[in-house]
Amino acid sequence: MIDLKYLQSHFDEASQKLQKKGVETQTLKKLQTLFVTLKQANQALETLKAEQNSMSRLFGQYKREGKDVTKLKAKVDTNKEAMVPLQEQAREAEAALQEVALGIPNFPDDSVPEGAGEEENVEIRRVLEPREFEFEPLEHWALAEKNGWIDFERGVKLAKSRFSVLRGEAARLERALINFFLDSNATKGFIEQSVPFMSNAAMLQGTGQLPKFEEDLFKIEEENLYLIPTAEVPLTNLYHDEILTAEALPLLMTAYTPCFRKEAGSAGRDTRGMIRQHQFNKVEMVAITHPDQSDAVFEMMVENASDILTALGLPHRVVELCGGDLGFSAARTIDLEVWLPGQNKYREISSISNTRDFQARRAKIRFKDGKKNRLVHTLNGSALAVGRTIVAIMENYQNEDGSIEIPEVLKRYM
C-alpha cells in the first residue's frame, strides 16, 4: 500500500506521480476528502478527550475536598455522549480511507518513462542476433501439430479453452526447463522453496492481487482460498507480519509453481497456442531486501533472467516499462522479450519488478534497524515462464522439416 502520510503531506507531488500510472484525479480527490473528514473527526475527538481528562482530574479533586460533584458529573456524562458519534465518524472515515487506499497502485520511480501503454516502453538493449532462416519459419502451434508435441483440443476437452496438454518430448522439455531454471537461480544465491499452490485472501492482499484483481483469480468455493496467480504470492508472504534482522537481508528465494489466471479482459488476444493460458508453469525469483540493497538486487535479477535466455541461445531484448504499462504493485519494471520468428516479433517472457516498500506495508514485513522497525523492499521476477520458453525454443530451433533441435544446455536434463 502507498504511504498515506506521504500522500497527505505532499498531495500535489504524490498525485502527479500516480497520474503517471493513470490514476484518475477523481479517485485522488476522494482520498483527499477522506483525509479531511478523518482529520476533523480526530481533532474534535482529541478536544473532547482533553476536556474529559481535565474534568476527570477535577472530579477527583472535588471528591477529596468534599465538594458537590453533581453538575460536574453531568458535564462528564454529556461529554462522553458527544464522543460516541465522533468515534464512529472517525472509524468510518478510517475504514473508507483504507478501502480506497488498497485500490491505489504503487508510486512509480521518478526514472520511469512517461507513457500510456506498451507502445511507449523503452528498449534498453538487445541480446543475441535472431537467426536468419532459409525457409519460412512456422509458428509454434503449427510445429506442435507436426511433432505431436501439444494437444490443444484435448486440453479444451479436459478443462476448457486456454488449457493444453504437452506430450512426449514437449513434456520432457518442460521438466528439463524447470530444473535448469531452478539450478541457474541457485548459482545466484536464490534458495529453492516448495510452496502451496493456494493462498488465502490476506496473502493475496499483501502482494496486491486483492481486492482490485479478484476477477482474475480462481477462487475455491466456500473456502477463503484462491489458486495462486504466481509464486510471488506465497514466496513474499512467507515473511508476512514478521520482523527480520538487518543481517538476514537480502533473502533470495526461488520456486517452481503452476500459475492460474482467468485472464479477465484478454478476450480475443492470443487465442491460438500457448502464449496466454489459464494454467501455466513458471519459475519465480523473489527478493526481500534492505532498502539500500534493492536497486543492486534488481539489476542482478534482470541480469540473471537475461543470462538464462542467453544460455538457451534465445535472442531477446531488455525493455523498461513506461508509467502507463507498470503493474499495480511495481515502482519499476524491466521486461525481457524473447524473439519469436514464427510471429516475427518479440514477446514478453520475464517481468522483473521492484515494488519498494509497497507490498511490505500491506504485508507488514519489517526489519530491525537499530531501535526502529523499518519496512523492507520486495522484488519479484520470472526466471522464466516455462510455456513461453518452450514456444521460443520450438520457433527458434525449428528445422525445415518441422523437427526441433534441443539447446545444448538442456541435453543433460533430457
- Based on the fold, state whether residues 18 and 131 are members of the same structural domain: no
**Would 279 be classed as within a structural domain?**
yes
pLDDT 10s digits, 53-102: 888 888 778 878 888 878 888 888 888 888 888 888 888 888 888 888 89
Beta-sheet pairing, 316-320 with 122-127: antiparallel
Q: Which of 126, 276, 347, 374 is catalytic?
A: 276
Cα distances (Å, whole numbers) of residue 404 to 23, 170, 345: 46, 10, 20
- Based on the fold, state whether residues 170 and 311 are members of the same structural domain: yes
**Would 91 be classed as within a structural domain?**
yes
**Would 130 be classed as within a structural domain?**
yes
170 pLDDT above the threshold of 90: yes
ω before 258 within 30° of 0 (cis)?
A: no
**Would 15 be classed as within a structural domain?**
yes
pLDDT 10s digits, 239-282: 999 999 999 999 999 999 999 999 866 666 677 889 999 999 99
Residue 64 sits in a domain of what CATH number?
Answer: 1.10.287.40
Average pLDDT over residues 36-48: 87
pLDDT 10s digits, 328-364: 999 999 999 999 999 999 999 999 999 999 999 999 9
Domain final position from 101, 131, 156 = 101
- Say if residues 344 and 315 touch (Cβ distance below 8 Å): no
For the chain, percent of residues with pLDDT exceeding 70:
99
Range of the domain at 96: 4-101
**Would 222 be classed as within a structural domain?**
yes
- Based on the fold, state whether residues 204 and 147 are members of the same structural domain: yes
Q: Which of 319, 303, 317, 312 is nearest to 396 (CA)?
A: 312
Q: Which of 180, 81, 123 is nearest to 410 (CA)?
A: 180
Query: pTM to 2 decimals?
Result: 0.90
The maximal CA–CA distance of the chain, rounded, in angstroms, is: 107
157 pLDDT above the threshold of 70: yes
Q: What is the DSSP letter of 383?
A: E
3-class secondary structure for 146-170? HHCCEEHHHHHHHCCCCCCEECCHH
Rounded CA-CA distance 258/164 in Å is 13
- Kindly provide the residue ranges of all beta strands, DSSP E only, lying in 189-328, ordered along the sequence: 191-192, 198-200, 225-227, 243-245, 251-260, 279-289, 316-320
**Is 351 annotated in the active site?**
yes
Q: Which of 199, 351, 353, 382 is catalytic?
A: 351
**Would 189 be classed as within a structural domain?**
yes
- Based on the fold, state whether residues 95 and 185 are members of the same structural domain: no
pLDDT of residue 264: 66
Rounded CA-CA distance 272/270 in Å is 5
What average pLDDT does the chain have? 93
State which of 27-41, 62-76, 306-320 shows the largest mean pLDDT.
306-320
**Is 261 annotated in the active site?**
yes
pLDDT 10s digits, 203-231: 999 999 999 999 999 999 999 999 999 99
- Based on the fold, state whether residues 91 and 133 are members of the same structural domain: no
- Based on the fold, state whether residues 363 and 241 are members of the same structural domain: yes
- Based on the fold, state whether residues 183 and 269 are members of the same structural domain: yes
User: How many domains does the chain contain in total?
Assistant: 2
- Based on the fold, state whether residues 44 and 187 are members of the same structural domain: no
- Based on the fold, state whether residues 248 and 351 are members of the same structural domain: yes
Total residue length of the chain: 414
More confident residue, 52 or 300: 300
pLDDT of residue 266: 65
pLDDT of residue 89: 85
- Based on the fold, state whether residues 39 and 128 are members of the same structural domain: no
**Is 374 annotated in the active site?**
no
> Under 8 Å CB-to-CB from 249, ≥6 apart: which residues?
288, 289, 290, 293, 367, 376
Q: Which of 307, 392, 312, 405 is nearest to 352 (CA)?
A: 307
- Based on the fold, state whether residues 122 and 179 are members of the same structural domain: yes
- Based on the fold, state whether residues 349 and 298 are members of the same structural domain: yes
**Would 111 be classed as within a structural domain?**
no
Q: How many CB atoms lie within 10 A of CB 10?
A: 13
Q: Which of 162, 261, 356, 361 is catalytic?
A: 261
Q: How many CB atoms lie within 10 A of CB 110?
A: 9
**Would 112 be classed as within a structural domain?**
no
**Is 388 annotated in the active site?**
yes
